[in-house]
Copies of this chain bind each other. A is one copy, B any other.
Amino acid sequence: MSEMPTAETPESPIYLFFNELGIMEQLVTTQLERVLPGGLTKSQFGVLNHMVRLGRLESPAELASAFQVSRPTMTNTVQKLLAKGYVEIVPHASDSRSKIVKITEAGVAIRSEALKALAPLFERIGISLGESLFEEAVSLLQKVRVYLDENR
């Protein structure tokens, strides 16, 4: 009752990492959304980009899993994209519980525009910090992600 033991946590590098992660994510999200066209959010762009890159047809559940968000969250994102005409929803052929999200012409176009809008930002960052820094960082992040994903 006399003194507080102050040495409770020696500022674990793990907590520092989590903290830094949160701050970074904040900065990145706001900066990306500042330049994305048509009021696209980072999540909405992420889904469009994912669909173009993979070229594969996926259900909302598969998309949710790819981005590590809950199914209700992906429902929401897909509905926003649907309202903007960037995707269409078609029923799954063999499983009537499921749906298939297809990107539209407009979706492909806005994704292309978004890439053009992001390019200068990425270029500046690449010049200033070097792309290899990001390759290293990605490989570290992936290790942590895989662990968290498996031990959830």
List chain A positions with a Cβ less than 8 A from chain B: 4, 8-9, 11-29, 31-32, 42, 46, 53, 67-69, 108, 112, 115, 118-119, 122, 124-126, 128-129, 131-138, 140-145, 147-149, 151-152
Nearest B residue to A19, CB-CB: B46
**Measured CA separation A25–B21 after assembly (Å):** 6
Given contacts A13-B135, A22-B25, A28-B148, 15 further A-B contacts (CB under 8 A): A12-B126, A13-B132, A13-B138, A15-B118, A17-B138, A17-B141, A20-B138, A21-B28, A22-B28, A22-B46, A23-B68, A27-B149, A27-B152, A129-B143, A129-B144
Please indicate the chain B residues that have their CB under 8 angstroms from the CB of A151 in the complex: 124, 128
**Measured CA separation A149–B67 after assembly (Å):** 26
The smallest beta-carbon distance between A45 and chain B, in angstroms, is: 10
In contact, B27 and A115 (Cβ under 8 angstroms): no
**Measured CA separation A124–B148 after assembly (Å):** 11
